[in-house]
């Protein structure tokens, strides 16, 4: 299905009695923080690398407990994370390069496995980035970002550019 450009909404003039000086939020809840990671303390750095769809490798030093989605987004790598890390999509799909490293990881939950079944290009070492928390055991892990993701909310495939 072709992607159509979204029309830009025309600015509407509000009547004077409705104008407010400060913008108001439409939500009463705190916004979720995406791409929030904690800088590692000296001596406690954990190494992780991402290979993007162009084959370029990006190396990072991160803290224990950071997840792969947040790490990718904090470093402007292209990982969508459509559900905000709530294990309700497959747009944070990553492929762990080394099967031995994959075996060191905690087992995926049933929810993660259900979402992985919907991932484009599923492999034996696929995981959802938002569900993988970095730990000392995963020091040196390399993950590959798939060339495409399947976003069922958009009922579409999105090629990563
Ligand atoms: S961001 Fe949706 S499952 Fe990870």
Domain edges within the chain? 37-159
Q: What's the rounded Cα separation, in Å, for the pair 118 and 157?
A: 12
Q: Which residues of the chain have pLDDT under 50?
A: 1-32, 155-157
d(CA 142, ligand 1 centre) in Å:
19
Nearest Cα residue to 93 out of 58, 53, 140: 53
Cα(21) to centroid(ligand 1), Å: 37
Q: Which of 92, 120, 151 to mutate to test the pocket of ligand 1 (most atoms within 8 A of CB)?
A: 92
Ligand 1 binding pocket includes 132 (Cβ within 6 Å): no
Decide whether any atom of ligand 1 lies within 6 Å of the 85 Cβ. Answer: yes
> Which residues have C-beta within 8 Å of that of residue 64, sequence separation ≥ 6?
44, 46, 133, 134, 135, 136
Q: What is the pTM of this model?
A: 0.74
Count H helices, E strands: the chain?
3, 7
Pairing of strands 126-128, 93-96: antiparallel
CATH no. for 37-159? 3.10.20.30
What's the CA-to-centroid distance between 89 and ligand 1, angstroms? 5
Q: Which residue has its alpha carbon closest to ligand 1 atom 3?
A: 87
Q: For position 57, what pLDDT does the model report?
A: 97
């Amino acid at each position: 299905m072709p992607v159509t450009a979204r029309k830009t909404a025309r600015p509407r003039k509000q009547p004077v009695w409705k104008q407010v000086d400060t913008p108001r939020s439409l939500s009463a809840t705190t916004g979720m923080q995406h791409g929030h990671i904690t800088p590692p303390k000296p001596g406690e750095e954990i190494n992780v690398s991402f290979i993007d769809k162009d084959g370029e490798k990006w190396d990072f030093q991160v803290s224990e407990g950071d997840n792969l989605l947040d790490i990718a987004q904090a470093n402007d790598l292209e990982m969508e994370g459509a559900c905000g890390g709530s294990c309700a999509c497959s747009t944070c799909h990553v492929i762990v390069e080394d099967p031995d490293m994959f075996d060191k990881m905690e087992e995926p939950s049933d929810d993660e496995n259900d979402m992985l079944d919907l991932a484009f290009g599923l492999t034996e070492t696929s995981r959802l980035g938002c569900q993988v928390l970095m730990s000392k055991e995963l020091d040196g892990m390399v993950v590959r970002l798939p060339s495409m993701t399947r976003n069922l909310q958009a009922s579409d495939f999105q090629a990563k550019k």
